Structure 1
Amino acid sequence: MLTQAKSLAQYLLTLAHNHQTGELIVESGTGECWKLYFYSGRLIYATGGRHPVRRWYRSLKRHNDQFSSRWFTYMHTPGDYWEVDFIHQAVQRKFISLNQAKAAFRSIVEEVVLSLTDYPAEHLRWHDNRVVGQQALFVSVQQSLVRSRRIYSRWKAVAGDHLPTVAPHELPYLSPIIINARGLQVHLSAASYKRVSRWMQGNVTLWDIAAQTQRPMADVVKMLVPLIYEGWVDLLPIDDIPAPHTTRPLSQAMKPKTKGLVACIDDSPLVSKVMAELLQPMGYEVLPITRPVEQISILTQHRPDLIILDLIMPNISGYELCKFLRNTKEFYKTPIIILTGRDGMIDRVRAKMVGADDFLAKPPAPEKIAQLLNKHIATKDT
């Protein structure tokens, strides 16, 4: 049905025309992943890409100026689709109105569509009837594509030949930073310098600036282009921020004494739950990672002592992820145990070739887990 699409836009229009319900996964060659959810041919949610958490926060703040992180203390832990779940909880607790929630959902969906403007119809996967629990807003694919093309063209026209190395869809996710303060101070008045310099510390994106100043993105880009051209300001990539439900690392004084932290990377939350039930009595903490492509920053943030990695996952294979981790400075020495139901010689050889340290067969036996933990994690003093 969709194999004849020559572009992602055509693919989306085909889904809309055929009134499809399900999940579309778009992957890039650099490891980025987007997920778009359809209900009867209309978009109901989208996530992923470079800054899904920044996008979520930005959309809520844009449509509710009373937004506060304190809301999360009153909310229960969300399910797999925390972005949708938290907004629903905010409506139920009357932190935001239903109309504000709809506006936030629309902003999120349309930003993702805009990010994928001109994207080729490659590395696409469709899952029938896989949806999120968002039935408050249904976004027209056709209208979103028209709007995205119009905004995209404005960015491209404003940037012109001054930013030839930056693709228009990547531009809003970069952060401006002053690299020649003296030159900028000479160019601007003292009041103007003070006003613009607060946005140029390398910690907010152009998307964030446009939202907080309530100005179109094209205007923000237009203001920055001459400053970049003169060599006073540069644009840098920055990381996403942690999700609100992510447990932040405790200070060293507050950390409970454990034998170590074990990350369980498996798309099934049940597997992580079983692992926690097995490992916690042995004195280990478990960090569940159910969406490794999207949650790699969480893994980097917590730096586990050992990683248990499932071989078969929907977005990336255990082999690919193991190889990727071995090529990072954070995890090139971290013990990695492959978890699989296929315990054949070919699998073992291939796992060793990508850097795995050991194998653990499903279902995991407690004594085997204990043996591997003792082998690969040095026991800490208590």
Structure 2
Amino acid sequence: MQGNLSEIDICSILQLIALGQRTGQLWVEAHSSHHNNKLSGEGANIYRPKQQSWFVFFLNGQIIYCREGESNLSRINDYLRHYRVEMRLTNKQIASLPSTDSPEYAYLWALLERNIINPKIAGSIIHGLVHETLFDLLSLHQGNFIFHQGAALAPQLNTFEIAPFVTKITKQVQEWKELYPHIQSPEQLPVLSDKVQLQSSLPEATLEKLQHWADGKTSLRQLARYLNRDILTVAKAIYPYVQQSWLQLVYSATTKPDTHNDNWELKGKHRGRIVCIDDAIAIGETINSILQPQGYEAIALTNPLEALSLVFQLKPDLILCDIAMLELEGYEVCAMLRHSTAFRLTPIIMLTGKDGFIDRVKASMVGATDYLTKPFTDTELLMIVEKYLKIEFYENGE
């Protein structure tokens, strides 16, 4: 199971895994922007592309563990700080940990086996990590996912039912949105901005706590881990101070919503991206040789089943699709793409045989934009491509 989050949301994916009692792992990837808002004026407001990923591990439709793509140990160490656990593994011990899909999980089990933490603390840490990961995932609207069915992450300390988590966190995500724009991201860093006003308005004990945590180095997400609270509870606690401008929230290389078109850079370099779906390698090579010298980016896909998922990542401006393919007919490919919001308006040109009147009628019925008869000349291909890309770019204000 794989696809794009614009077609099926995380909540539905999790429900399908639970209903099917699946065992394996879900990988989710999203692209956004880094926003670097430093306290000093130098280098402020710098946007950099960021790629985020998460893994969710399942056993019989229940969650075992969740991790971020980088899988560093800082998340667990943040929780250990809450429990005042001072002892850690040495670098040599960490290096000797068994190879696993989640080194972070292996580290947690090593702490447990060495009696540095007990099962109750380990279970609480896993619960917190699952909660914060699902909060991030259920906030996503764009990205790609792959569910790989396979052996479960082992050993298991405990498992969590999906439905209660999703119900609770979905509500939290809605409440989180109400804090915008004052609070935008769990990765924002609180900083005291009006200490004089705070001194006259708050009890000394409260001010000391704010001074301790609002150091410009500790993110809201870290603060939630240190206090062993969910991110919404922490955000609501500081919200009044942010509203009064007594606290300022700044970014330090964190994620913000991406406001530019994903294809902007591409269209600045190419006249358009064209994907050709045809199981005949020679056709793909021919189309490539005709289109690339004219400034188009041409990509040939020979497996129609794989192509259905790849086109969501490639986001082509126009699709050429052969009708007669062994694994999946072009009609089916076209119909599936047309059921997708992402490809409702994308020009889809069907490649037909010489005597293809019936083919053309069927192609029209499943939503094909036009057809091109094989064999075709260079001029015929370029004319039909230019015709529909000019229309598309004109309508989009290009």
CA distance in 2, matches of 1:109, 1:182: 40
Q: Secondary structure at the match of 1:36?
A: strand
Q: What is the CA distance between 1:65 and its match in structure 2?
A: 3.1
| Distance of 2:70 and 2:172 partners within structure 1 | 19
Q: Cα–Cα, structure 1 residues 103 and 2, in superposed 2: closer, same or farther, change >3 Å?
A: same
Please tell me the root mean square deviation across aligned C-alpha atoms, in Å. Answer: 3.6
Q: TM-score, normalising length from structure 2?
A: 0.51
- The CA distance in 1 between the partners of 2:252 and 2:150, in whole Å, is 35
- Specify which of 168, 172, 178 is matched with residue 147 of structure 1: 168
Aligned counterpart, 2:153 = 132
- Structure 1 position 230, deviation (Å): 2.6
Higher-Rg member (1/2): 2
Shift of 1:51: 8.9
> Could you tell me which residue of structure 2 aligns to residue 198 of structure 1?
212
1:99 is the counterpart of 2:120 = yes
1:29 is paired with a residue whose SS is strand
What whole-Å deviation, never above 9, does each CA across 1:135-174 have from its counterpart, x for those lacking one? Answer: 22222111211221233344345x2xxx32755xx3x322
* Aligned equivalent of 1:222: 236
Summarize the Cα distance change of 1:150–1:57 in structure 2 as closer, same or farther, 3 Å threshold: farther
Which amino acid letter does the alignment assign opposite residue 77 of structure 1?
S
2:176 & 2:147 partners in 1: Cα distance?
A: 30
Distance 1:54 1:74, change over 3 A: closer
Where 2:213 maps in the other structure, the secondary structure is coil
Q: Does 1:212 align with 2:226?
A: yes
Letter in 2 for 1:66: V
Instruction: Say which of 27, 34, 51 aligns to 2:54.
Output: 34
Partners of 1:106 and 1:130 in 2: how far apart?
21
Corresponding residue SS for 2:250: strand
Q: Aligned residue for 2:78?
A: 58
Give aligned-pair identity as a percent.
19
Q: Cα distance, 1:98 vs. partner? A: 2.7
The separation in 1 between residues aligned to 2:211 and 2:149, in whole angstroms, is 48
Within-5 A mapping of 1:299-338:
none
SS at match of 2:210: helix
- Cα deviation code 1:253-310 (max 9, x no counterpart): xxxxxxxxxxxxxxxxxxxxxxxxxxxxxxxxxxxxxxxxxxxxxxxxxxxxxxxxxx
Match for 1:42: what amino acid?
Answer: Q
Residue in 2 aligned with 1:23? 25
SS at match of 1:173: coil
Amino acid aligned to 1:164:
P
TM-score by length of 1: 0.53
Pair 1:232 & 2:249 matched: no
Counterpart in 1 of 2:187?
Answer: 173
Contact 1:174/1:206 (CA < 8 Å) preserved in 2?
yes
Corresponding residue for residue 188 of structure 1: 202
1:268-287 to 2 correspondences below 5 Å: none
Partner Cα distance (2:155, 2:201) in 1: 49
Q: Helix, strand or coil: the match of 1:85?
A: helix
User: Gapped runs of 5+ residues in structure 2?
Assistant: 33-50, 255-264, 266-287, 293-398
Residue 109 (structure 2) pairs with residue 88 (structure 1):
yes
Contact persistence 2:79–2:228 (CA under 8 A): no
Give 2:55's aligned amino acid: K
Asked whether 1:7 is paired with 2:9, we answer: yes
2:242 aligned counterpart, secondary structure: helix
How far residue 191 of structure 1 moved from its aligned partner, in angstroms, is: 4.0
Match of 2:25, SS state, is strand
Q: Which residue of 1 aligns with 2:181?
A: 164
Distance in 1, matches of 2:112 and 2:159, equals 17
Matched, 1:112 2:114: no
Q: Between Structure 1 and Structure 2, how many residues are aligned?
A: 238
Change (3 A) 1:184 1:136: same
Contact kept, 8 Å, 1:176 with 1:200, in 2: the verdict is yes
Structure 1, unaligned runs of 5 or more: 241-322, 324-345, 351-382
Letter in 1 for 2:190: P
- CA 1:177–1:140 in structure 2 vs 1: closer, same or farther (change >3 Å)? same
| Alpha-carbon distance in structure 2 between the residues aligned to 1:38 and 1:214 | 24
Letter in 2 for 1:114: F
Q: Distance in 1 between matches of 2:151 and 2:229?
A: 36
2:226 partner letter:
Q
Residues 50 and 190 of structure 1, relative CA distance in 2, 3 Å threshold: farther
- Shift of the 214–189 alpha-carbon distance from structure 1 to 2, 3 Å rule, reads same
